């Protein structure tokens, strides 16, 4: 009797385990199931912040600052970009608040150089 119940519980364990594995695989394939991780989320208040001031020349376009922002914000180490009031795409002053625990200043500067025509610190 004892041996039989052991076998039953083993079978049940296998079934539960298999179900968990299959569910996880299904979630990995279904974009909707992955959704919770794919949107903007708050950064813990205690996480250290730093700020980088730069002057940039952007790729000229009627929406140049928006294109720059959208490319930069893909990096979750960037918390907030603040622009000067000036118009146009060249010589714009911008302050980038970032999370040094997630992106180092050098890496951030390299990223800025990738998405802007010219970047000068300060």
Partner 1 sequence: MKTRHGLTAVLVILAALPSAAVVRTALADDEDDDAPQGGEVLSSDQLSKKKREVLLAIPKDETVLINVSKRDMPASPDVLNLGRKSTKAIARCVSDNVDDKLRATCAEMLGRLGDRSALGALQGALEAWDAGVRGAAIGALRKIPDPGNVAPLAKILAREDEEPGNRAAALEALGAQSSGRAVKIVRDALKKPPEALESMRVSAFKGLWKSRHLIDRAELIGDVSYALASTDGALVLAGTFAAGELRAPQLVPALVKLMKNSDTRVRNRAVYALGKIGDTTATRALLEQIPHVRESRMLNNIAFALERLDPRAFYGTARDLVGHKQAQIRMNAAFVLGDVRRPEGLPLLRGALDDKNDMVRLSAVTAIGKLDAKDGEKVLERYVDDPNPSLKRAAIYAIYALSGYKRTDLVWDKLYLVPETKAEAAIALGRANDPRVTQDLLTCLELSQCALGEVEGFMRASKSPDVPGRTLLAWTKGRSDLTDLVATLKPAGAGSLARSEIQASLAHKAILRALKAIDLTGDLSDAQAGELLTSLLVHENTRLRIHAAVALARADDAAGAAALFRDMDNLPQDQLPSFVRLLGRVTEPKGRARMAPELDKRAAGPDAPMAVAAAAVRFTWDPEQGIFRMLAALGGATRVERDLAEKYLLHDERPLVTELLRRALAREGRLPVKDQLRRILDLRADRAAAKRP
- Which residues make up the interface to partner 1 (CB under 8 A)? 31, 34-35, 37-42, 60-63, 66, 69-74, 76, 78, 80-83, 86-90
Least separation, in Å, of the C-beta of 64 and partner 1? 8
Looking at the DSSP assignment, which residues form a beta bridge with residue 50? 98
CB of 62: closest distance to partner 1 in angstroms? 5
Dig out the tokens for 6 from the structure. 């052991």
Q: Which is nearer to partner 1, 10 or 97 (CB)?
A: 97
Burial annotation 15-33 (CB, 10 A radius, 16+ → b, else e): eeeeeeeeeeeeeeeeeee
- What tokens were used for 63? 């929406």
Q: Which one, 13 or 74, has the nearer CB to partner 1? A: 74
């Amino acid at each position: 009797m004892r041996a039989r119940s052991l076998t039953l519980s083993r079978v049940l364990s296998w079934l539960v385990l298999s179900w968990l594995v299959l569910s996880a695989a299904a979630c990995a394939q279904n974009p909707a199931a992955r959704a919770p991780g794919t949107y903007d989320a708050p950064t813990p208040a205690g996480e250290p912040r730093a700020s980088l001031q730069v002057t940039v020349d952007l790729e000229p376009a009627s929406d140049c600052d928006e294109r720059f922002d959208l490319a930069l914000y893909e990096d979750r180490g960037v918390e907030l970009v603040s622009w000067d009031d000036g118009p146009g795409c060249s010589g714009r002053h911008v302050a980038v608040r970032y999370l040094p625990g997630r992106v180092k200043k050098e890496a951030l500067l390299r990223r800025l150089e990738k998405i802007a025509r010219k970047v000068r610190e300060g």
